[in-house]
Amino acid sequence: MTMTIQIRKKGSLTLPVEVRNKYGLEEGDVFTLIDLGDGSLLITPRFLQVNRLGDRVAEILNEEGVTLDDLLTSLDEERESYYREHYAES
C-alpha cells in the first residue's frame, strides 16, 4: 500500500485513518524513525500489544474493584489447585 502524506507545521505527520485503524494506532503512540541513508526513512510503532492488553486488564480489574492482592491470592489458589489435580500423589 502506498500513500502520500505531508509534513505539517512543527514537523507533524498525519497518518491516514485507514493505516491507524488497520494497526490500532492511537494518539500518543510512540514511533521509531530509522534513516536508511539513501533518503529513505522507516517509521515503526514502538508499542507492544502486551502493554495495551495489560492496560485494558488493569482497567477491567479497577472497574470490578479487584485489587492486586485479590488477583495474586486467586492465582496462588489456582496454582495450588492445578498442582493437586496434576501432580499430587493420590
For the chain, domain boundaries = 9-45, 49-86
pLDDT value at position 90? 63
pLDDT value at position 86? 92
29 pLDDT above the threshold of 90: no
DSSP symbol at 51: H
Label residue 3 by pLDDT band (50, 70, 90): confident
| 71 vs 12: CA distance, rounded Å | 42
